Amino acid sequence: MKASFFPKLAADGIKKNRQIYFPYLLTCVFMVMMFYIMCSLGFSPTTSAVKGGSYVSECLVLATFVIGVFALLFLLYSNSFLNKRRYKEFGLYHVLGMGKRGLRRIVFWESLFTSVIGLVGGLFAGIVCSKFSELLLANILQSKIDFSLHIDPEAILVTLILFGVIFLILMVKSLIKVQLTRSLELFKTESLGEKPPKTRWIITLIGLAILVTAYVMAGSIKAPLKALFTFFFAAGLVVIATYLLFIAGSVALCRILKSNKKYYYQKSHFVSVSSMVFRMKRNGAGLASICVLCTMVLIMLSSSSCMYFGLQDVASSGFCRDTEVVIHQRDPAMMRSGGEESVLRLYDRHFEREGVTPKDILYYTFASASVVIDGTEVFDENDFGTRGLDVEWNRIDRMVNMILLPLEDYNRILGTDLTLADHEAFVYTVNMEYRNPEISAWGQTWNVKQTLKEMIPLSMQQTSVFPVMVLVVPDISVYDGEMTVENFEWIPLDCRWYYGYNLAEGKEKNVEVYHKIQDLMHEEENYEAGKYTYLKSNKYEEIDELLGLFGGVFFIGLVLSVLFITAMVLIIYYKQISEGFEDQKRFEIMQKVGMTTTDIKNSIRSQILTVFFAPLVMAGVHVAFAFPMIRKILELLYIRNLTLVILISLAVFFLFGLFYAGVYLLTAKVYYRIVSGRQ
């Protein structure tokens, strides 16, 4: 036998089965291309040079890992479908006298051809498209880059190694499968597992119970941090429930439809419902996979879009003024010595030297702590163990950010003339209520004189992920004498001084002045002596940094969404092909007994519409119930514009629904051509 016999036979097999091989080859090329692009961008010095480049590089590394794992899992799935369609042909070869060794050689050459096409085509497409991806990323990050094409040898090497291993695994798996399968089973492989499954009400009810538990969990969580910790656990429950409901619940649905005689005994429904019942166990697993992918795409696209398009809101909510300086006074005595006056004089001198006039100047002294309030008592980290709150999970729902503010600063900033006696306080709360007549903390008890309806701009109030309580007290400096390391495991009250201002000159001048004063602060006497810790921030610089983080996440969200959508489309396509070949003989019989072409189309439409849009509807339900949890997680990133989040989520679902409908129309035509014998 000539050496070229088996390679030629393998090439002919690929050519004759192009209807199933072409999508698989495109998938291989696409996976290799996407992985190379992510590696290339991650290794590119251009990426690290853009705004927030460090954040972008970290996002790309994570995306590269996700793509690699997903490529392995999805190519295993696609390869299994491919082999299943080919085993009948292999069985024929075996009956005609070809031994297992010959079959293995055919599988080897087919695997080699697909691997080479996938690697070469993927790398070529990746190199060509990498520049477009780099331009897209630069546009998202609002940065400028050159237009020269950069080919990264390191990215090529990593891609070749990873996908070389993946394609080797696929080849070994196929060879083992052919070796272990009997010749008769090769003929039957395509039809295995087609007995109509029994209705499993217990599994259906378990799936419903798990799903309801996940939904209740998502809706009942109030603390943003707890939402972040719980999200992946709840997501895991939803995935399990989705598979149980689609596998067992879809069988129950078909049984219910079949028992409805008015619905079942119609030309457009009779064949479709019978076909669905016949293979619903396998069909349900595919639908569940589609539903999970739809849900992932919807959540990723909506969340990353909210982060990117809500960037300005994040910056505005996180800053009371364009430039802010928070001085942490390590020595409590500095609270009474007026040490901040030297900083004020430094700013005034530099403003005059630069010829700029600050406006909206805001400064005040405050103290803050993370606490748990139990009745009228306040407990900080030093007390948690004695109150059964030493477990983080136990107290996270009850955590409150408490701020102590001097009455003098409150009156000065708001122009009021409120008064307080000793051990009296005004209370102001955000996202919580406090109705008790007094409150005790750190050995002090304040009588609550009044609940305030107005508060000065507080950066901590705007950025806190926990409820906030502000106590306006006569003087906070009288309490810091006891706040020493000798009396506590750690100092519970963090005493600080805030200074913020705006400049009318615009972004560039604002940033320039900010950096010059920042350099001068390092030369300031108290800073050098270690008495002060400066926390400096500028809104415009923060926007640039957040643009790198949020823009990188948005770009990765787009890339992974395209990846998951590709997988979803391929699953749908394979599902339609496999079911088309299975139903072909049934429709041939129905045509012989009088079923017209119009009847066939109506039956196909009924079958596909009954189950095809179920994953999209279920994905929409999943996202709707997960919305409270997603919103809480977005609050951790200071995205609190509810209108923006709702509008983006609805827009993403609408656009994805249109795309999904387009996939339905295309794959329905493929299914019709197969069952009507016109493929």
Specify whether 23 is located in the same domain as 140.
yes
Provide mean pLDDT across the span 253-257.
Answer: 66
Instruction: Report the greatest alpha carbon distance in the chain.
Output: 106
CA-to-CA dists, residue 198 to 204, 392, 397, 557, 591, angstroms: 12, 46, 45, 40, 29
DSSP 199: P
pLDDT at 484 over 50: no
pLDDT for position 259: 66
Asked whether the predicted pLDDT for residue 489 surpasses 60, the reply is: no
Instruction: Give the residue numbers spanning the domain of 454.
Output: 320-536
Residue range 120-145: mean pLDDT, rounded: 81
Note whether 167 and 240 are same-domain residues.
Answer: no
Confidence of residue 654 (pLDDT cuts 50, 70, 90): very high
Q: What is the pLDDT of residue 165?
A: 92
Same domain, 458 and 588: no
| pLDDT of 3 over the 80 cut | no
The CA distance from 395 to 385, in Å, is 11
pLDDT reported for residue 83: 73
Confidence (pLDDT) at 386: 52
Do 149 and 245 reside in the same domain of the chain?
no
**Which of 536, 561, 576 lies at the terminal end of a domain, its last residue?**
536
DSSP per-residue letters across 590-616: HHHTT--HHHHHHHHHHHHHHHHTHHH
Is 283 in the same domain as 341? no
- Between CA 449 and CA 232 the distance in angstroms is 44
The whole-number pLDDT of residue 652 equals 92
Give the pLDDT of residue 529.
45
Based on the fold, state whether residues 20 and 153 are members of the same structural domain: yes
Encoded tokens for 662: 């387009």
CA distances from 447 to 6, 339, 676 (A): 91, 31, 84
How do residues 585-640 score in pLDDT, each as one tens digit?
Answer: 666 666 666 666 676 666 666 666 666 788 888 899 999 998 888 888 887 777 87
Per DSSP, the three-state class of 359 is: strand
36-45, 417-426, 560-569, 571-580, range with greatest mean pLDDT: 417-426
When mean pLDDT is compared across 408-412, 422-426, 562-566, the lowest value belongs to 562-566
Q: Is the pLDDT of residue 655 over 70?
A: yes
User: Residue 120's pLDDT band (boundaries 50, 70, 90)?
Assistant: very high
| pTM to 2 decimal places | 0.73
Q: Which two tokens stand for residue 115?
A: 């691997």
Looking at the structure, do residues 200 and 306 belong to the same domain, yes or no?
yes
- Asked if pLDDT for residue 651 goes beyond 90, the answer is yes
Percent of the chain with pLDDT over 90: 7
Q: Is the pLDDT of residue 117 over 70?
A: yes
Residues 429 and 510 in one domain: yes
Rg (CA), the chain: 33
Q: Are 36 and 2 in a shared domain?
A: yes
Average pLDDT in the chain: 76
Q: What is the mean pLDDT of residues 430-445?
A: 85
Flag whether pLDDT at 480 surpasses 60. no
pLDDT recorded at residue 135: 79
Of 60-69, 122-131, 302-311, least confident by mean pLDDT is: 60-69
**Which residues have CB under 8 Å from 655's CB, separation 6+?**
none
* β-bridge mates for residue 369, sequence order: 402
**50 has a pLDDT exceeding 70:** no
| Distance in angstroms (rounded) separating the CA atoms of residues 250 and 620 | 18
> 3-class SS at 437?
coil
Q: Give pLDDT, residue 673.
A: 75
In the chain, how many domains are there? 3
- 385 contacts: CB under 8 Å, gap ≥ 6: none
Q: State which of 192, 213, 239 marks the end of a domain.
A: 192
My answer on whether 149 and 34 are in the same domain is: yes
**Nearest partner of 171 among 110, 232, 220, 225, judged by Cα:** 110
Does the pLDDT at position 507 exceed 60?
Answer: yes
pLDDT classification of 487: cutoffs 50, 70, 90: very low
Q: Which of 536, 557, 574 is the last residue of a domain?
A: 536
Least confident of 14-18, 185-189, 271-275, 368-372: 185-189
For strand 358-374 and strand 377-379, is the pairing parallel, antiparallel, or unpaired?
antiparallel
Q: What is the pLDDT of residue 160?
A: 92
Q: Where are the alpha helices (DSSP H) in 430-538?
A: 459-463, 507-521, 525-528
Which range of 95-109, 152-166, 306-320, 469-483 scores highest in mean pLDDT? It is 152-166
pLDDT at 256 > cutoff 70? no
What span, in angstroms and rounded, lies between the C-alpha atoms of 95 and 91? 6
Q: Which of 115-119, 226-230, 453-457 has the lowest mean pLDDT?
A: 226-230
426 pLDDT band, cuts 50/70/90, is: very high
Tell me if 159 sits within 8 A of 28, measured CB to CB: no
> 246, 353, 226, 267: which is closest to 571 by C-alpha?
246
Residue 533 pLDDT greater than 70, yes or no: no
Is a pLDDT exceeding 80 seen at residue 111?
yes
Task: Compute the distance between CA of residue 339 and CA of residue 333 in angstroms, rounded to an integer.
Answer: 9
Q: What's the token pair of residue 620?
A: 């929409």
Residue 319 neighbours by CB under 8 Å, 6+ apart: 459, 500, 537, 539, 542
What confidence tier does 380 reach under pLDDT thresholds 50, 70, 90?
Answer: confident
In a shared domain, residues 237 and 363: no
What percentage of the chain reaches a pLDDT higher than 70? 69
Q: How far apart are CA 133 and CA 35, in angstroms?
A: 12
Lowest mean pLDDT across 270-284, 294-308, 353-367: 270-284
Residue 279 pLDDT > 70: no
Are residue 641 and residue 668 in the same domain, yes or no?
yes
